[in-house]
Amino acid sequence: MLKWLNKIDLLILLAIMAVMIFAVLMLYGFNNNKFDFLKNTDKGQITTQETKIIRTDYTDVARKTLDWIDKQRNEEGWYILERGCDYEKKTCDIVWDNKEGNKDGLIATWARLNFYEQHKDPKDLEIVKKDIDIFYEKYKNDNLKDSLWICKITYEMAQSKYIDQGQKNKLKELCFNVEYPSPEEVKKYWFTERDKKLEKMVGDKQWGYWDIYGIVLRGFDVSLGYTTDLLFRNKWQEGKNNLDSAKNMFRVVKETYEYNINDN
């Protein structure tokens, strides 16, 4: 009887030792990624591998571009519409401008302010402030509905701590002066009126009038930016009026694309 009990005790001891050894092996396996029943293949790689993001520095290119843009001004000190090139003479001395001027020119000022925020070159801030005053005086009584992203860029510029409150008020006024067409009017424009306008413009001096320039030469119809502008005006108005208008405008623009109104 005693021998039999001793055999049972030995079996129990061996079983306990086997369980302990198995537990140790399992812990070692989990800690060293030997056992991964959940197939977490990324485990361990997070700490051992780093994704290196290499950004190309375009600072010099941006600097040269902004310096060139600053020279593309008319007698009023505002930006010209465009500069054309003569491929035979290999010159780019053909200045395209008109009395209405470049209603998209504030985009260059917005770009310069973004550059200043990063590099703090005092001459850029001086140009930005001068540009805002020139643009405001030229277009404060103009309905800028044909200017690309006027509410987007004025809103973003007005968030800068480097722009004084007086100029921020000017930027806000420029946005709020815009009388955007309704989504129904934009739809009518794309489906019936735009082609008629283009036919009428054939043979005209295409940079002689802002309306012609905006439709023919600019390469991007302003109505495609109305959704964005309404959203940014909505930010300025703290969500009061334009969110539904923006949604309806987006629906019309989407419908325009789906029907391939303008293949270009």
Model confidence at 43, pLDDT cuts 50, 70, 90, reads very low
Mean pLDDT, to the nearest integer, of 7-14? 59
Among candidates 118, 204, 219, which has minimal Cα distance to 162? 118
Mean pLDDT over the full length of the chain:
84
For residues 103 and 144, is the Cβ–Cβ distance under 8 A?
A: yes
Is residue 97's pLDDT more than 70? yes
If DSSP codes are grouped into helix, strand and coil, which group holds residue 66? Answer: helix
Tens digits of residue pLDDT in 159-183: 999 999 999 999 999 999 999 999 9
What is the per-residue pLDDT for 207?
73
Angle at CA 138, nearest 5°, toward 168 and 71? 90
95 has which bridge partners? Answer: 83
Q: Which residues contact 178 (CB under 8 A, 6 or more apart)?
A: 143, 144, 145, 147, 150, 151, 229, 233
Sequence-separated contacts (24+) of 211-214 with Cβ below 8 Å: 211/146, 213/81, 213/82, 213/96, 213/98, 214/103, 214/146
Q: pTM of the predicted model, to two decimals? A: 0.75
Is residue 264's pLDDT more than 70? no
Is residue 114's pLDDT more than 70? yes
What is the per-residue pLDDT for 236?
87
